[in-house]
């Protein structure tokens, strides 16, 4: 198993998917963008098409327009996010922004879904479509 580590996220290559664990507050768009770039780079180097994001210990303090800006970056620059299926586990405090972000991503063709339960997220992620 390969591990990539930094202060804000930890990415590990599991048997069936990449697992991303995040902790801390996210109020700065630059930090969110850098973390997205690190995940994108891990996707490119691992060739995994399933991603499990564990954001249960992360609090997003960003306006909705920043979520839309992140989506635009995915569409224009971090294009390998289109090639993956991503289950995102969030906590109740970030449900509003998380659900909004997943909703706009789904409307633009990304295969992302929000969960509050780890087992449910993993079951959806590993389910054959």
How is 69-121 classified by DSSP, letter by letter? HHHHHHHHT-GGGGG-EEEEEE-GGGHHHHHHHHHHHHHTT-EEEEES-HHHH
Return d(Cα 99, Cα 56) in angstroms, integer. Answer: 14
Between CA 99 and CA 25 the distance in angstroms is: 17
Looking at domain 8-126, its CATH architecture is 2-Layer Sandwich (3.30)
Task: State yes or no: pLDDT of 52 exceeds 70.
Answer: yes
Q: pTM for the full model? A: 0.89
Per-residue pLDDT of 63-120, as tens digits, reads: 889 989 999 999 999 999 999 999 999 999 888 888 898 999 999 999 999 999 999 9
Structure tokens at 119: 């087992």
Quick check: 3 pLDDT over 80? no
């Amino acid at each position: 198993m390969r591990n990539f580590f930094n202060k804000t996220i930890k990415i590990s290559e599991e048997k069936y998917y990449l697992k991303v664990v995040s902790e801390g507050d996210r109020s700065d768009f630059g930090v969110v963008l850098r973390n997205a770039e690190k995940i994108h780079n891990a996707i490119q180097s691992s060739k995994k098409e399933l991603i499990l994001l564990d954001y249960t210990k992360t609090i997003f303090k960003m306006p909705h327009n920043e979520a839309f800006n992140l989506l635009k970056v995915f569409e224009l620059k971090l294009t390998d996010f289109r090639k993956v299926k991503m289950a995102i586990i969030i906590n109740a405090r970030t449900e509003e922004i998380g659900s909004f972000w997943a909703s706009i991503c789904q409307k633009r063709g990304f295969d992302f879904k929000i969960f509050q339960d780890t087992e449910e997220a993993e079951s959806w992620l590993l389910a054959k479509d």
